[in-house]
Amino acid sequence: MELFEFSKYIAGVYRQSKRDFKQAIAELDVRATQSDLLMYIYDHPALTQQQIAQDVTMDPSLLARDLRVLVDKGWVQRAVHAQDRRAKMITLTPAGQQLAQQLKIIMDRWWSNLFEQHPEIDGAALAQQLKLVRQALAGEQHE
């Protein structure tokens, strides 16, 4: 296999999962990128906006735009960071927590269905390999 094909496969999986996910969450009035943010903030509460942008590899101005939408919808709140008054801590409101839980269930269902329909795919091995790739790209140490 040609190494450049990795990008093609990764992009294809991402696009397909997002397309299916968008359809599944259509009635929830949230975009796919915003849903990713909600789920990330749910799993990583009280990070700064800068930390979130870095962790999810997102342009800070795009993150700020999406966070404004999430704040306006009452799902996210910003609070002044105790050690750095310029930084804002990002947390979910109770409504945001409930929505993030729903989104996680929908996303988990998508992956579960994929692995059930294709038992030849080892989900645990795939997860471990993707984690290693992400860590390498982020410059993190292996655990």
What is the domain-level CATH number for residue 64? 1.10.10.10
- Cβ pair 48, 55 in contact under 8 A: no
For 83-118, the pLDDT digits (tens) are: 777 778 999 999 999 999 999 999 999 999 999 999
Instruction: Report the domain count for the chain.
Output: 1
Alpha-helical runs (H) found in the chain: 5-24, 32-43, 49-55, 60-72, 94-117, 123-138
Q: Does residue 81 belong to any structural domain of this protein?
A: yes
Q: Does residue 10 belong to any structural domain of this protein?
A: no
Q: Does residue 91 belong to any structural domain of this protein?
A: yes
Q: How confident is the model at residue 140 (pLDDT cuts 50, 70, 90)?
A: low
Q: Does residue 119 belong to any structural domain of this protein?
A: no
Q: Does residue 68 belong to any structural domain of this protein?
A: yes
Residue ranges making up the domain that contains 78:
16-110
Q: Which residues pair with 74 in a beta bridge?
A: none
DSSP-assigned letter for residue 44:
S
Exposure pattern of 75-91 as b/e (b: 16+ CB <10 Å)? bbebeebeeeeebbbbb
Q: Does residue 127 belong to any structural domain of this protein?
A: no
Query: Residue 1 carries which side chain, given as an amino acid letter?
Result: M
Q: Does residue 80 belong to any structural domain of this protein?
A: yes
Give dist(CA 108, CA 7) in Å, integer. Answer: 23
